[in-house]
């Protein structure tokens, strides 16, 4: 059971890191098209400068998730990814976008939850009694 959980964790985490890195860099360079591009962000009603903020935090979050140690900061990264992806999903839902537009944010949200849930003990915050 433990080996299975470790495999699930790493598969989810690698795909999450890949997805956040690709979209993060795309946002940093202000790509015109694609998920997180300037066309999409303006369609959702957000200012274009938000792309730089989201892109930078996604890249920082990926680094934090992949570096060993710092479990408290990892919790913050997971929370940030959760908030960004639920916000993206709900924004697309509010705009009544087709399922094709909902899917990327929903997939990254699911990967965030899976990675967080199956993270090894060494990557969890230990609360003192």
Do 81 and 61 form a contact (C-beta atoms < 8 A)?
Answer: yes
Q: Which residues contact 81 (CB under 8 A, 6 or more apart)?
A: 16, 20, 58, 61, 108, 112
Q: Using the Cα atoms of residue 116, residue 93, residue 103 and residue 47 in order, give the sign of their dihedral.
A: negative
How confident is the model at residue 35, as a pLDDT? 61
Distance from C-alpha of 97 to C-alpha of 42, rounded to nearest angstrom: 13
The mean pLDDT of 35-56, rounded to a whole number, is 89
How confident is the model at residue 89, as a pLDDT? 96
- Is the predicted pLDDT of residue 34 greater than 70, yes or no? no
Distance from C-alpha of 89 to C-alpha of 103, rounded to nearest angstrom: 8
- The label of the residue with tokens 């946002």 reads 27
pLDDT above 70 covers what percent of the chain? 95
pLDDT above 90 covers what percent of the chain? 80
The mean pLDDT of 20-49, rounded to a whole number, is 87
Do 120 and 28 form a contact (C-beta atoms < 8 A)?
Answer: no
Q: Quick one: DSSP state of residue 122?
A: G
- Is the predicted pLDDT of residue 77 greater than 70, yes or no? yes
**Phi-psi category of residue 127: left, alpha or beta, with phi > 0 → left and psi -120 to 50 → alpha:** beta
Range of lowest pLDDT (28-42, 61-75, 90-104, 111-125):
28-42
The mean pLDDT of 91-112, rounded to a whole number, is 95
The whole model's pTM is what?
0.91
């Amino acid at each position: 059971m433990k080996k299975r959980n470790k495999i699930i964790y790493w598969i989810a985490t690698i795909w999450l890191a890949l997805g956040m890195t690709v979209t993060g860099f795309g946002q940093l360079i202000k790509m015109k098209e694609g998920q997180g591009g300037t066309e999409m962000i303006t369609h959702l009603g957000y200012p274009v400068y938000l792309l730089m903020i989201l892109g930078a935090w996604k890249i920082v979050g990926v680094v934090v998730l992949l570096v060993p140690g710092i479990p408290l900061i990892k919790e913050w990264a997971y929370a940030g990814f959760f908030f960004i992806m639920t916000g993206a999903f709900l924004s697309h839902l509010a705009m009544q976008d087709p399922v094709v537009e909902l899917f990327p944010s929903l997939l990254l949200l699911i990967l965030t939850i899976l990675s967080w849930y199956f993270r090894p003990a060494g990557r969890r915050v230990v609360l003192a009694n």
